[in-house]
């Protein structure tokens, strides 16, 4: 029995959807149909899934520009799955101030451990920490 929260499940499906969009060129409708057919989707926070997938796709260019200064290589050299995780993390940091930055970064690290390469979680953590320092400066400074 899985102890994953509905929000964690939603983020996992968002990563899969972003991957299908970036790598497979699928549109929103195709991604939605595919997600709904996967076991466990019924246990995901559907509202969060829909919101984050839509926002990350619609704002991908701007989010990429936010992320690039903190990446030590070109965007295209970052693995596709790590690009998706970074886009999701940046999207939440920028557009969802109601979610604490530590939660967003921890979720991104867990996603990278699940889907990414061996040290991908360290890379994701480093990039999102630097981005959070800019986007969430006031929150980080709070005692």
Domains and CATH numbers, the chain: 6-135 (1.10.940.10)
pLDDT at 103 over 70: yes
Over residues 116-135, the mean pLDDT reads: 95
The first and second tokens of residue 129, run together, are 């920490």
pLDDT at 1 over 50: no
Q: Specify the pTM.
A: 0.94
Q: Are 97 and 35 in contact (CB under 8 A)?
A: no
Three-class SS state of 78: coil
* Residue with token string 């699928």: 26
How far apart are the two ends of the chain, measured CA to CA in Å?
38
* Residue with token string 């970074």: 86
């Amino acid at each position: 029995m899985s102890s994953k929260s509905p929000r964690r499940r939603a983020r996992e499906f968002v990563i899969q959807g972003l991957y299908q969009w970036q790598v497979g060129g699928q549109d929103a409708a195709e991604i939605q149909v595919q997600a709904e057919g996967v076991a466990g989707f019924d246990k995901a926070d559907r509202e969060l899934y829909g919101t984050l997938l839509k926002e990350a796709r619609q704002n991908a260019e701007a989010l990429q520009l936010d992320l690039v200064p903190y990446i030590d290589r070109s965007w295209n050299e970052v693995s596709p799955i790590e690009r998706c995780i970074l886009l999701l993390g940046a999207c939440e940091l920028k557009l969802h101030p109601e979610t604490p930055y530590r939660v967003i970064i921890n979720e991104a690290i867990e996603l990278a451990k699940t889907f990414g390469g061996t040290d991908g979680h360290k890379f994701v953590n480093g990039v999102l920490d630097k981005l959070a320092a800019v986007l969430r400066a006031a929150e980080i400074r709070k005692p």
